[in-house]
Every structure is written in structure tokens, then in C-alpha cells.
Amino acid sequence: MDLRIREMTDADCDAVAEIRVRGWQSAYRGMVPQPYLDALSVEQDAARRRLHLRAGGPVVNLVAERAGTVVGWACHGPYREGAAHTPDAELYALYVHPAQIGTGAGRALLARAQSSRAALGHPHLLLWVLKENTRARRFYERAGFAADGVEEPFDVRGVSVPEVRYARALP
């Protein structure tokens, strides 16, 4: 089936929230405290997506769609160094519905994010991935990203979950 990448609309927020929440619950099982994963709410996430989308700004939200159904979501924008932006870009999120992993939706979303940021003149695309998330790390490494040696803890309800930063030069 044909895959279409397009900008996210308000009507996509429920589907994107479902993908994000189910993605967290599937991908981060055993890496993030289970009570946190169990408490994730599609409804609350959809409300947050709507607020972020309506706020506008330099952040771009993309969806991957097959046969009229949203199967993936990516979000990218300027790289954040604290409250300041740097010349680089950041992939803030990329999630594909667990049943759609391996279908090319993630690769297509990543390719669109890279080309969009390259067209805006960003020299690099950076992203953060959980250190223990070997599946995601392999995905990004196959796409030309490499860990750049920077690690930071991500706090989840008082539990420190280490993240690794990956980077790739943009053409």
C-alpha cells in the first residue's frame, strides 16, 4: 500500500496520541518504570498534541498515512540547548504504530525530517534515544546516525533513565 507523508492536522491528534502512547508502552517496557507506562493516557496525550500543534512555532509535526489511516508520527525542529536554540536541528520524536514497524513508515518519516531540516540550512540533525533501546539505536545507525558521546539522564518519576545523543550531518 502507498505511504503518504504529510503535515499533521488537528484531526490527526487522536491517532498520533494512540501511536505515541502505544509506542511508549511497547518500546520502553523494561526500560521505564511500568507504573509510568501503565498510567499513560491517550486522551491526555491527544490534548497535549492539540495544544502544541495550535501553538505553532518552528516545530514541524509529520504523519505517515496508509489508506487514510495514520500509522506513524515524527516531530522535528531547532535543536534545544537548554532554552536556547543552536544552528542544528533535532528530531524530537519518531513513533510508528507497533503493528507497522518494519513497513518503511519510520524510514519515510525520518527521510522527510532530514530533507526538511537540510532545506532550512541546518548542518546536523540530532536526536536522543534511550540507551537501552537497542532496536531504535540500530534503526538510527542504519540511517547514518552515530552516537556522539553525549549522554544525559531522563527522569521518569524519580528513576534515572539514561539517554544517548545521536547525530548526523545533513547535506
Determine whether domain 3-169 maps to CATH 2.40.50.100: no
Residue 67's pLDDT band (boundaries 50, 70, 90)? very high
| 136: its cell numbers | 531504535
Q: Which residue has the cell 534503526?
A: 139
Rounded CA separation 162/130 (Å): 6
Q: Where are the domains of the chain?
A: 3-169
What is the model's pTM?
Answer: 0.94
Span 93-107, mean pLDDT?
95
pLDDT of residue 85: 78
pLDDT of residue 84: 76
